[in-house]
Structure 1
Amino acid sequence: MKRLLASMSSTRSGGRRRGDAAGPLIPISEDDIARRIELLDSFEQAGLGWFWATDELGRLIYLSKSAIAMLGWDESEVIGKQLSDLFLPDDETAPDRPERPLAFLLGARNSITQLPVRVANAEREFWWEIAGKPRFDAKGEFAGYRGSAKDITAIRETQRDAARLAQYDPLTGLANRHRMHKRLDKTLTAYRNTKRSCALMMLDLDRFKQVNDTLGHPAGDELLKQVAARLGRLVGENAEIGRLGGDEFQIILPDVDDRGKLGELAQRIIQMISQPYSLNGSRAIIGTSVGIAIAPYDGVDTEELVKAADLALYAAKGGGRAQYRFYSSDLKDGAKLRRQIEEGLRDAISRGELEMQYQPIVDAQTHKVACFEALIRWHHPEHGLISPARFIPIAEDCGLIKEIGEWALEQSCRDAAKWPCEIKVAVNVSAVQFARADFPETVKQVLKRTAIDPGRVELEITESVFMGDYGEVQKLFKRLKALGVRLSLDDFGTGYSSLSYLRKAPFDKIKIDQSFVRGSPEKGNNNSAIIAAIVSLAEALEMETVAEGIETRDELELVKGRNATHLQGRIFSLSLQQHQLLERSEQGQLVFEPMGPDKYRPERRTEFRRIGLIHDDHRYHVVLRNLSRTGALIEGLLDVPLETEVVLDLGNGQLAVAMVRRSEGYSQGVEFETQLIPDGADGLCTRYRVSPYLIEAAGRPLAALPDDAYEAMRSSSAAPAKPKAFVEADITYRNLAA
């Protein structure tokens, strides 16, 4: 009570209250040790920052208790520890902001200013920013450091997240275009100095747009994630995979220039990506095309190499998709041709350049024709006959497939209406064309206009039709079967459709892909067992079978022995024009007898092109007539002895060491020391090429391979040690006549 009265008295007499005039100011002076310590304690306890100190040996003699508690340590674990052991260097410092390590600064007794460090052995990751100054005693002797620290963990995580977003694709977690460009640029720059190689793969997903259109963008996003995961399982740890945007991917493969290994990897990628995907209860099938370029062979800098890989990818897509291509200098002309094809294709129908031809499908027992497969042909006014494998993918890309597909169906039905009524017509249907909701209506109108019996029309579709919503596919099947047409599954065995889907789909016929027929009689070939399994499956499902692509009598006997119901291939006939077919029909020639070689032999490509042949440092000009993996037939040198070792310059830096095994006049058969490999375009190439580093060593600037790599590699001062051993024969006229 006395205190209360005193307080009231003080108030009445004008005592200081909040809001009254301030009392005398008492600053904290330097010698006011107690108040200064109180101030520093308040700073530490508030978590605004901490203090640390070391002795002359760099051992920690003080660290704020609140800092020790936050790290989950005991004071005994900290005091006495070397400061450089407590704080680890910032390994994530950007290359353009190099920091000197803490140990260097301490050893040089330099001041430390805003140095980011990572705390070692903490319960979780902590980042601090430390500052400090060296302290010296009255005698000038070093007495240790006194410094401060603050927690920047949250800031660091934010910076790290921002940096990751700038370098990685948020959907797939793969490197983005920016990071891939920097990584490739850095790699190529370093590898030029160390004479190393680096391969680049460009991937583009086939039919990805249809997944987005039919299943929605969330399904498309999930598909991209699964593609990224599959790629990660296929490539090694040294490779980096990036998503450039959309459905484009890129793979950097350091220290790889073996085109055999790259081709095998590309083929595995194509096969893996083509396997079915489960997307939120739906099933999808896509594909991919791959373009491959290798530094320094195809480009020395980033822009040049990326452009080369892009051209190779462009060629792979133009070749029919689900393929890979290596870059070669002639692809520039191929890209130009593709643009010309696209431009010419728009007017091909109106100009009457498209034609339907028909290849017979015969009964396996009687060889009487049961069906003709309609094959579209394009007679380009400048480029001659262009394969549908080349122009159909272009038509799909540029939106012309509906018009061309409808024309092909109607023309085939009009032609077939003039055949004997028991013969059917099989018309190929593009997966893009089939996926259109109005396709059944298109078929209905064509049947009406041509007045053909629907039961004589077979629509050949591939397994890729199952890539979208299977419920919608089933509805399309049902609508087509209601029209009375037949359905045939083409190229069976090359895709990844589920057997359960095959059981439910109303197919009338399965076509066994020619890849299983070709070479099936060879010893150790498992294709014959696959053919037998497909035939048994079809029989169980009450479907007919067609073995396609038969070329030799031993292949014919094998597929007949496996009980295929129908046969197709060059051994019976090439495709016929409508007037040829009608002539045979009028003459009653509807049985096709087999005419072909007895046995299968590995394919030899007819070439008819000039190449170089090198012997004893001399270069000769010869003509390459045919080429296989194991050897070649050349013409142009007279009387070359057997067992002569030569080198064939196949162009684009490809040198193949070979031995002459047969020699007759100006014709020689040679066997390669190392077999050639597939080039992804139904052709062959060497595993390795002349290295641009060898050309650079000969005194030329480092660049991608020139047209004549061998001559560029040879030193200009080098002279042949011996005169030419062989005489060149001019066989140009003979080749032209042939």
Structure 2
Amino acid sequence: MPLGFLKSARESNRPVPQPEGPAPLVRSDRSEVLGEVEELGIGMFWATDAEGRLTFLSKRALVELGSEAESLIGNAITQVFQDVEAEDGAPTQRSLAFKLKARSKLEEQIVAVPTARGSTRWWRLNGRPLLDAQDNFRGYRGSAVDISAQYAYETQVARQSQVDELTGLANRRKLGERLKAMLSAFRVSQRSCALMMLDLDRFKQVNDTMGHPAGDELLKQVAQRLSSIVKDYGEVGRLGGDEFQVLLPDMDDRGTLGELANRIVQSLSQPYQINGRRAIIGTSVGIAIAPYDGLEADELTRSADMALYSAKETRGGTFCFFTSELRDAASKTAMLGDRLRDAVDRDELKLAYQPLVDPATNEVKCFEALLRWHDEEEGDISPALFIPVAENDDLIIRIGEMALRQACIDALSWPETIKVAVNVSAKQFIRPGYRKAVAAALQASGLPPGRLELEITESVFVGDLETVDAIFRDLKKLGVRLALDDFGTGYSSLGYLKHGHFNKIKIDQSFVRGCTENGDINPAIITAIVALAKALGMETVAEGVEAMDELELVRERGADLVQGYIYSRPLTQEQVLTQIADGTMKCNPDGPPRHRAERITIFRKVGLIHEDHYYDVILRNLSKTGARITGLAGVPVGTDVVLDLGHGQLVVSKVVNATENSQGLKFETPLISDGSGGFMTRHRISPYSLAEAGIPLAALGAGAFPLAKWREAHKSVPKFVQMDLSI
């Protein structure tokens, strides 16, 4: 109010007019109101200087944090108010430091505020930059609201939508989002990533025999083991049930991936302690790699699923990489299952018998019964194909019981000194009433129990070991013999041997093949297994012996019996009876003098690159270190070439021997196992490189590589003669 107006009013004795509305607040009134706002819990207040140091924090804020003003005032505001990590479920927001540096408004900025008591509170900040009359920046003035309860709830909800509640791993939703985002980003930067799909073998058996709480505990332990193996290399998640997934960015080395998958298989196959009881499971792993096996998340996931299915079909407890051939194999497997059921109904499956021979005397001590199937349309179908199909449903039960009955009947016609061994699937073994089936087969045939050996793989140890123990005891009471097949390749049953159930250990052929090669550690493994068996009073059988040097080694290392092509291929019952007509049964060893690197017989078209020409050739066989091809003439020994196995698999090679139209190649870098009996290159040429060479990604297929367009572009005279490959 102007002073002149007051003076004139007094002088005229007129009343002084009063301003309308409430009286203005003095400074003490403003402080009181701010204090009342804080007391009501409506807000707290803070301020900084131009350098971002905290200069004021209201009383309520100090009480909330349990701190004295002296301990906070003067600190950088970013030390007092800390950004919230996105992984904690907070909304996406720019960092506080970024906004302060840009002198932006702070609107609903969520921060974490450590307290003096060691806990953390979450506040929502609002603030504005303060400028003086000359537009100089003087710092921030702002308010804060404690949202800890709300934030904790929202974080929990966000976490539950991203995390598997049982194991604490990423769930299906989070894994899907991560994979999509990663593939999208990696396409731009031309990076790769691998996807592993895992499925636990025999998990249902644990659930059924030990209860669902035990199954849940088992899943938690599986999650812990997986996380400890993968570590920071990738992200582990649970899709649901007994399915897990591992996402591995920037990994395309199939040798490294195979080693990692093998460690996962071995680790998850170790025994578990659950509520004082012991259980064993296994796992199968399927592997697909982007961009080779898929560019989109759905495509890559389907590829990994197909690889997983193949791993389980092979035998379980192994890993498999995706190949384009798996697509065709999946449909063939479905048709094979239908035909197999028909074949069983028509009694088309027959038995053949492979001898187990004493290497000291060459006398046959036992015959192993092996299933054979001759299909009218397809011809002979390998057990490696139809047994896994039968394992997937109860068909293996029918087939197993048929084989057991027929083997007992056939063995009764042999000399009493010769036993018969029959394979037993894990599904058969744990089926209620299996002992009765064995007893019935013995009674119907009249075969003495001591002449029957049941060959059981380590997969029977999966699940509740107390139940498995009871089955073993029942079978031993019958008087039959028990053999542990494929020892050392499955579920780590070494400690289980002390229970004394087994009469015989069969050393898996994977330890025998190549055991005479320089630097191979398998001889030491064979020696250790034989010593262990002798200490426990058990026989040993060396499986898969094919060469004379292998026979000599396993004989020297003390194997009691030998089984393999070195002595005989499987025989029909008629052939067996013919050979034992003289009252004895001997097999003389006959095979190559030395072991050759394992080769796969193949008959398919591939490519061969020499200088600036691409030739079509037929791949006849393939090993880790070389191959044989046909289809070219005039290729001299010593020629450097590149073998194109398809899908970016290029192998630098040298011609080491040649005939008129056939060449033997030696690889500069050995191939590696694909986990399912085949071979592959460790690395592949990226489809990104192929695309840069002018080849559309959608058109990539077998034989494609960066210089494929040479076929049309180059007109120089080829050095070799391309022969007609029509079959």
With normalisation by structure 1, the TM-score equals: 0.89
- The equivalent position to 2:716 in structure 1, one of 711, 722, 727, is 722
Instruction: Describe the shift of the 1:634–1:699 C-alpha distance in structure 2 as closer, same or farther (beyond 3 A).
Output: closer
Deviation at 1:466, TM superposition (A): 2.5
Q: Does 1:335 align with 2:330?
A: yes
Residues 717 and 417 of structure 1: CA distance in aligned 2, closer, same or farther (over 3 Å): closer
Distance 1:44 1:572, change over 3 A: same
Q: 1:504 aligns with which of 499, 503, 509?
A: 499
**Could you tell me which amino acid in structure 2 is paired with residue 723 of structure 1?**
V
Change (3 A) 1:283 1:389: farther
Pair 128,555 (structure 1): closer, same or farther in 2 beyond 3 Å: same
- CA 507–57 in structure 1, closer or farther in 2 if over 3 Å, else same: closer
- Which stretch has the larger CA shift, 30-39 or 274-283? 30-39
Q: Which amino acid aligns with 2:610?
A: H
Aligned to 2:275: 280
Offset, 1:665: 2.1
The 8 Å contact of residues 86 and 92 in structure 2, kept in 1 or not, is answered as no
Counterpart of 2:287 (choices 292, 297, 302) is: 292
Displacement of 1:296 after TM fit?
A: 1.0
Contact in 2 for aligned 1:28/1:36 (Cα 8 Å)? no
Distance 1:84 1:345, change over 3 A: same
Deviation at 1:237, TM superposition (A): 0.9
Aligned partner of 2:443 in structure 1 is 448
Partner of 2:421: 426
Q: Does 1:596 align with 2:591?
A: yes
User: What's the counterpart of residue 534 of structure 2?
Assistant: 539
- What is the match of residue 317 of structure 2? 322
Matched, 1:477 2:477: no
Partners of 1:365 and 1:285 lie apart in 2 by 38
Once residues 542 and 711 of structure 2 are traced to their aligned partners in structure 1, the CA distance between those partners, rounded to angstroms, is 60
Q: Which secondary structure does the structure 2 equivalent of 1:709 belong to?
A: coil
- Confirm whether residue 437 of structure 1 aligns to residue 432 of structure 2: yes
**Cα distance, 1:661 vs structure 2:** 2.0
Q: What is the distance in 1 between the residues matched to 2:614 and 2:710? A: 14
- Which of 619, 628, 643 is the matching residue for 1:624? 619
Question: Is 1:372 the equivalent of 2:336?
Answer: no
Secondary structure of the 2:86 match is: coil
> What SS does the aligned partner of 2:713 have?
coil
Aligned pair 1:151/2:146, yes or no?
yes
Question: Which deviations, in whole Å up to 9, do the C-alpha atoms of 1:686-731 show, x marking residues without a partner?
Answer: 1222321122112343348423313x75447972262111112347
1:706 pairs with one of 684, 691, 701:
701
Aligned to 1:15: none
Pick from 461, 466, 482: which aligns with 1:466?
A: 461
User: Secondary structure of 1:244's partner?
Assistant: strand
User: Could you tell which deviates more after superposition, 164-173 or 466-475?
Assistant: 466-475
After superposition, residues 7-86 of structure 1 pair within 5 angstroms as 30-31=24-25, 37-54=31-48, 60-81=54-75, 83=77, 86=80
1:151: Cα distance to partner? 1.0
In structure 2, the partner of 1:577 is: 572
The answer on 1:87 being equivalent to 2:81 is yes
**TM superposition shift of 1:461:** 0.9
Using the TM superposition, name which of 642-651 and 91-100 deviates more: 91-100
Which stretch shifts more, 485-494 or 83-92? 83-92
* 1:589 shift after superposition: 5.7
- Asked if the contact 2:373/2:381 (under 8 Å) is kept, the reply is yes
Q: Distance in 2 between matches of 1:103 and 1:30?
A: 38
SS at match of 1:196: coil
- Cα distance in 2 for partners of 1:109, 1:636 equals 73
CA distance 1:91–1:461, change in 2 (3 Å): closer
* Contact 1:358–1:373 (Cα < 8 Å) also in 2: yes
Q: Which moved more, 1:299-308 or 1:511-520?
A: 511-520
Q: State whether structure 2 residue 525 is matched by structure 1 residue 530.
A: yes
Preserved contact between residue 363 and residue 586 of structure 2 (Cα < 8 Å) = yes
Instruction: Give 1:695's aligned residue.
Output: 690
| Residues 361, 371 of structure 1: 8 Å contact kept | yes
Contact 1:85 1:120 in 2 (8 A): no
2:366 maps to a residue whose letter is: C
Alignment of 1:538-577 (within 5 A): 538-577=533-572
The residue that corresponds to 1:241 in the other structure is: 236
Q: Which amino acid aligns with 1:73?
A: S
Segments of structure 2 that go 5 or more residues without pairing to the other structure are: 1-20
* 1:351 paired residue among 346, 350, 365: 346
Which range is displaced more, 88-97 or 672-681? Answer: 88-97
Question: Hey, what's the Cα distance between the residues in 2 that align with 1:466 and 1:107?
Answer: 63
Match of 1:99 in 2: 93
* Partner SS, residue 402 of structure 1: helix
TM superposition shift of 1:605: 2.3
Look up the SS of the partner of 1:348 in the other structure. helix
RMSD: 2.8
- Percent sequence identity is 54
Give me the whole-angstrom Cα distance separating, in 2, the residues matched to 1:571 and 1:108. Answer: 80
CA offset at residue 139 of structure 1? Answer: 8.8
Residue pair 1:477, 1:505 contacting (<8 A) in 2 also: no
Question: Are the counterparts in 1 of residues 310 and 326 from structure 2 also a CA contact under 8 Å?
Answer: yes
Query: 2:666 pairs with 671, 687, 690, which one?
Result: 671
Q: Hey, what's the Cα distance between the residues in 2 that align with 1:91 and 1:184?
A: 20
Rounded to whole Å, the distance in 2 between the matches of 1:656 and 1:244 is: 37
CA distance in 1, matches of 2:480, 2:98: 83
Q: CA separation of 1:120/1:205 partners in 2, compared to 1, >3 Å: closer, same or farther?
A: same
Is residue 283–residue 467 contact of structure 1 (8 Å, CA) maintained in 2?
Answer: no
1:153–1:604 Cα change, 3 Å = same
Match of 1:18 in 2: none
| 8 Å CA contact 1:296, 1:704 repeated in 2 | no
Q: 1:634 to 1:599 in 2, by over 3 A?
A: same
CA distance in 1, matches of 2:712, 2:428: 61
1:62-106 residue CA offsets vs partner (Å, 9 max, x unmatched): 322131132232212334555455323344299996534445655
8 Å Cα contact 2:88/2:159 also seen in 1: no
8 Å Cα contact 1:616-1:720 kept in structure 2: no
C-alpha change, 1:130 and 1:574, in structure 2 (3 Å) is: same
SS in 1 for 2:633: coil
Pick from 175, 178, 182: which aligns with 2:177?
Answer: 182
Tell me the equivalent position of 1:12.
Answer: none
The range that moved more, 255-264 or 465-474, is 465-474
Q: 1:512 to 1:156 in 2, by over 3 A?
A: same
In structure 1, give the amino acid aligned to 2:401: E
How many residue pairs match? The answer is: 706
* Cα distance in 1 for residues equivalent to 2:353 and 2:101: 87
* Match of residue 602 from structure 2: 607
1:56 is displaced (CA, Å) by 6.6
Q: For 1:555, what is the secondary structure of its paired residue?
A: helix
Name the CA distance, whole Å, in 2 between partners of 1:494 and 1:658.
33
Does residue 412 of structure 1 match 2:407? Answer: yes
Q: SS at 1:275's partner residue? A: coil
- SS of match in other structure, 2:475: helix
Query: How many Å separate the matches in 1 of 2:600 and 2:306?
Result: 24
1:195–1:525 CA distance, 2 compared to 1 (3 A)? closer
Q: Give the direction of change, closer, same or farther, for the CA distance of 1:647–1:53 in structure 2 (3 Å limit).
A: closer
CA distance in 2, matches of 1:520, 1:347: 42
Runs (5+) with no aligned partner, structure 1: 1-26
The 8 Å contact of residues 511 and 522 in structure 2, kept in 1 or not, is answered as yes
| Structure 1 residue 440: Cα displacement | 0.6
User: Using a 3 Å threshold, how does the CA distance of structure 1 residues 673 and 200 change in structure 2: closer, same or farther?
Assistant: same
Q: CA deviation at 1:109?
A: 6.0
Where 1:126 maps in the other structure, the secondary structure is strand
TM-score, length-normalised on structure 2? 0.90
Indicate whether 1:125 and 2:123 are aligned: no
- The residue aligned with 1:685 is 680
